[in-house]
């Protein structure tokens, strides 16, 4: 190829490159999506865990929703009140106080306390095991299956299976709610961090059935109700419930419970 041919080819390639660059630059300016500066500031204030506990697809989704007024400035369960106040300042609004919450597993049916009807050898996933006969190998149909589906779902390493029952590390828990969502037995809920006592059982079977399945299950006897000095305990559907607003943490219900189904948090 002659020198002129090479030079011509180089000029053509350069011209095409410049044209494409200019075209893309112009197109980028014309079709640029305008992003609210507040959205970028809110996103920077969020923890960046992208856990989905807020109900949106990651922190960017929550930031966009906050700026549009579709989510509260305190919508991040991981950041809690400090991040909520920071975002409120960005948005120029008042941040309502948010109470810290943590996950709580309403079951104490470990390998010693809960009976077993058979040996299970299937997939070690609570959602799968819940569909086998009896809702799992444990005699209590309401008990923790102990295969750690909640452990796998937790992005903060705040829940572990100990002796066949899921246990929450209250200090590590960020209340994202992922463990709540995946538990097929609906044993996990979010409770106030300041809560002092809780009923660690979810069974609503009649007393004799519960006692046969687990040594520490709530039998709905009502002794806790009769002895609570602040009237914070009620029995509904054969199951004790503590009103955390009324509970003073005196521990009388825990001491009087014949099955030790009420525990101090």
pLDDT for 17-28, tens place per residue? 776 667 666 655
pLDDT at 1 over 60: no
Categorize the per-residue pLDDT at 151 as very low, low, confident or very high, splitting at 50, 70 and 90.
very high
pLDDT of residue 194: 94
Q: What pLDDT does residue 74 have?
A: 87
Only one residue has tokens 């009237």, namely: 231
* pLDDT for position 94: 79
How confident is the model at residue 78, as a pLDDT? 85
Mean pLDDT of the chain: 88
Of 200, 218, 173, nearest to 53 (Cα)? 173
What per-residue confidence (pLDDT) applies to 23?
64
- The domains located in the chain, with CATH, are 37-91 (1.10.15.40), 99-193 (3.30.70.20), 195-265 (3.30.70.20)
Tokens 């046969």 sit on residue = 212
Say what the pLDDT of residue 213 is. 95
The Cα-based distances of 49 to 62, 79, 95 in angstroms read 12, 10, 22
What per-residue confidence (pLDDT) applies to 26?
Answer: 65
Write the pLDDT tens digit of every residue in 173-227: 999 899 999 999 999 999 999 999 999 999 999 999 999 999 999 999 999 999 9
The structure tokens 């008990």 sit at: 143
Whether the pLDDT of residue 80 is over 90: the answer is no
Whole-model pTM? 0.77
Angle at 249 between CA 258 and CA 180, to 5 degrees: 80
Return the higher-pLDDT residue of 115 and 52: 115
> In 3D, which of 145, 83, 81 has the Cα closest to residue 116?
145
* Average pLDDT over every residue of 58-84: 88
């Amino acid at each position: 190829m002659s020198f002129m041919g090479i030079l011509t080819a180089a000029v053509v390639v350069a011209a095409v490159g410049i044209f494409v660059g200019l075209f893309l630059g112009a197109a980028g300016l014309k079709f640029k999506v305008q992003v609210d500066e507040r959205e970028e500031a809110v996103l920077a204030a969020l923890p960046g865990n992208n856990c989905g506990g807020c109900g949106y697809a990651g922190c960017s989704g929550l930031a966009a929703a906050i700026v549009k007024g579709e989510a509260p400035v305190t919508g991040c369960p991981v950041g809690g009140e400090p991040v909520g106040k920071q975002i409120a300042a960005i948005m120029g609004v008042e941040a309502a106080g948010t109470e810290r919450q943590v996950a709580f597993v309403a079951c104490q049916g470990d390998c010693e306390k809960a009976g077993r009807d058979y040996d299970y050898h299937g997939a070690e996933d609570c959602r799968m095991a819940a569909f086998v006969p009896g809702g799992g190998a444990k005699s209590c149909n309401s008990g923790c299956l102990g295969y750690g589906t909640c452990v796998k779902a937790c992005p903060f390493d705040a829940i572990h299976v100990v002796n066949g029952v899921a246990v929450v590390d209250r200090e590590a828990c960020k209340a994202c709610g992922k463990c709540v969502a995946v538990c097929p037995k609906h044993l996990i809920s979010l409770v106030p961090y300041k809560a002092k006592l809780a009923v660690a059982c979810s069974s609503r079977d009649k007393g004799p059935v519960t006692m046969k399945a687990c040594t520490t299950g709530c039998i709905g006897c009502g002794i806790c109700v009769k002895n609570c000095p602040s009237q914070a305990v009620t029995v509904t559907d054969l199951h004790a419930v503590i009103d955390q607003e009324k509970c003073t943490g005196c521990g009388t219900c825990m001491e009087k419970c014949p099955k030790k189904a009420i525990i101090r948090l």
